[in-house]
Structure 1
Amino acid sequence: MNNQFSDIDVQLVKRTAMEILYREPTNVTPLISFNPESGDFIIQGRSIPENAEMFYSSILGWLDCLCQDPPLKIVLTVELEFLNIASSKRLLFVLYRLLEARSKGCRVMVRWCYDRRDEDMLEVGKDYSQMVSDIPFEFLVYDAIQLHPNRKVS
């Protein structure tokens, strides 16, 4: 009987994990919008939290559940202004989870978006594309001033 409760618990965790994962952005954490039904996953903004491990732990846990039965496709759009070292490690863990989904038949792609004035962020994307070379990357350049004319761009 105890085993039956364990099975039910696992099914509930999996069902919960398949819902949309959404986190509002802050000044130090990015927008997170992962929709397993459409396959559209977005990480956008700044990722410079004091405790990146704590911020990303629920995201990585959600992805672990998703990888048990991945969708047919995932397109991860990454558009980051800033990324600290701790966040860069966690983002790599996100990409590793996508590699796992790919190994189970999911078509995975990363759209790496960067401001035309930010060559460093382009290089970061290229580094990730080499670390997870089985995932195709598309590099998309944009102009932050045109997108956000009132925002100061350094």
Structure 2
Amino acid sequence: MDKRKVMLFALTIIIVLLNVLESFRWNYNNFEGDIRYKTDRWTNKVWVEFYAPLASGSAMEFPLLSNSEINSYPQLESHVEKIAMSGYLVSEWLKRMKLTYLYYGINSFLIIILLLLLAMITRTRKRPTRKSVLNSLCMI
């Protein structure tokens, strides 16, 4: 088997594995009214998703400071007020986004390499070799 084809196969397997691992990043826990708890398996942090009753399906997400559960919007609001001044929200968001951007960067880099490798393989197949040109000229 050609070295390029082996590299193509290996890159494809790595990209598939990365995307499978990303699909298992979040562990969704219980859903109580407008609030859903989820755990980020990459950082082992618990996050709260708040779905406002009049919102169009998008959620606001906040990291939990402790393992205490929040049952209502006023509790969530007091929790956010308590941790917002400490910078905890920003630091947790930055950690989460750094990991997410690192994943997207690695995945994009591997896909670009895969496409370049595919282009190299198809280009070498289409290019006639010098021997084949000489043989076709001799047959004339």
TM range (shorter): under 0.3
TM-score norm. by structure 1 comes to 0.23
Bigger Rg over Cα = 2
TM-score norm. by structure 2 comes to 0.25
Structure with higher strand content: 1
